[in-house]
Amino acid sequence: MIAEAVTTRIAVFSGKGGVGKTTVAVNLACLLGQRMYQVGLLDADITGPNVLQMMGIDEAPRIRDGKLLPHSKHGIRTVSLASLMPPESAVIWRGPMRSKALEQLLDETDWGEMNALVVDLPPGTGDEALTIAQHVSPQLAVIVTTPQEVALLDARRAISFALKLEIPIIAMVENMGSMVCPECGHAVDLFGTGGGKREAEVQQVDFLGSIPIDPGARRAGDEGTPIVLGSPASAVAQALQGIAGEAKKLLSA
């Protein structure tokens, strides 16, 4: 069981899709990798896997002694079902099959020595999240939300789910709260920033930080160079660095 071998285990959740889970997971993995961790990154979004794209990985997977070898890029070991499927083909498996695929990805990968694992989940409270809770036993659930009420409503569900799964630390990240002006670099309040922090207080969970919207973050994702590596001085990268620092503090408390 991976939980026994890996000291730091983080799962990135959300109630709603498109709020920035994969962006947070990929950048968090890269930041942990810079802080002396040997980091694995598992794409557990079986039906919407985006991790390879955001990590800039396009090579075929390799198998050694019957085990899958993680892709090695940006110093991170990345595993995704997407590299085992024809590109752009849809996975239309029912829940038990998606769970089985995840179990296999976890167990039949030669992860090597690794002391941190970041898992990128699909939105919602489905089979993938249950499987990861059982097989990875994360110590930290990072719940990503945007500040709008609809996203916060779904974030509450994700928090309740993480509580039921008995994940010891639950912490929120607000994404896309403000917008970075491409002209002057100043952050402009767009959707009412602060919603995530207030919600974390109401729900009595930790708050890791708020990430502004920046077209550069979207570009970085599309181009496969995580923004914390490509533009470490940008407002988004700085926010992500703060978030990684807070996560580390919570994990070592």
Ligand X SMILES: Nc1ncnc2c1ncn2[C@@H]1O[C@H](COP(=O)(O)OP(=O)(O)O)[C@@H](O)[C@H]1O
Residues that bind ligand X (CB under 6 A): 14, 17-23, 50, 175-176, 211, 213-214, 217-218, 221, 236
- Looking at residue 123, its amino acid is P
Q: Which is nearer to ligand X, 19 or 117 (CB)?
A: 19
Pick from 3, 4, 10, 17: which is nearest to 126 by CA? 17
Site for Mg ion in 18-37 (CB under 5 A): 21-22
Q: Which does 14 bind (CB under 5 to 8 A by kind): ligand X, Mg ion, none?
A: ligand X
Size of the site for Mg ion (CB under 5 A): 3
Q: Which stretch binds Mg ion (CB under 5 A): 5-13, 45-53, 164-172, 212-220?
A: 45-53
Q: What does the DSSP 8-state code read for residue 225?
A: -
Please identify, using beta-carbon distances, which residue of 13 and 37 lies nearer to ligand X. 13
- The least distance separating ligand X from the CB of residue 152, rounded to whole angstroms, comes to 15
CB of 182 to Mg ion, least distance (A): 25
Task: Name 206's bridge partners.
Answer: 171
Q: Between 205 and 211, name the residue whose CB sits nearer to ligand X.
A: 211
CA distance linking residue 181 with residue 163, whole number of Å: 37
Taking the least distance from each CB to ligand X, the nearer of 20 and 40 is 20
Contacted by 221, from ligand X, Mg ion, none: CB < 5 to 8 Å by type: ligand X
How many CB atoms sit inside 10 A of residue 86's CB? 6
H or E element at residue 30: helix 21-34
CA distance 44 to 186: 35
Element (H, E) at 8: strand 8-13
The site partner of 165 among Mg ion, ligand X, none (C-beta below 5 to 8 Å per kind) is: none
**Cβ contacts of 195 within 8 Å, gap of 6 or more:** 145, 147, 148, 149, 152, 174, 177
Shortest reach from residue 203's CB to ligand X, in Å? 19
Q: How far apart are CA 52 and CA 222, in angstroms?
A: 10
Q: Of these partners, Mg ion, ligand X, none, which one is at the site of residue 236 (CB under 5 to 8 Å by kind)?
A: ligand X
- Contact (Cβ atoms closer than 8 angstroms) between residue 50 and residue 44: no
* Smallest separation, CB 54 to Mg ion (Å): 8
Tell me the closest approach of the beta carbon of residue 21 to ligand X, in angstroms: 3
* Residue number with CB closer to Mg ion (50 or 78): 50
Q: Which one-letter DSSP state was computed for residue 17?
A: T
Residues in contact with Mg ion by CB under 5 A are: 21-22, 50
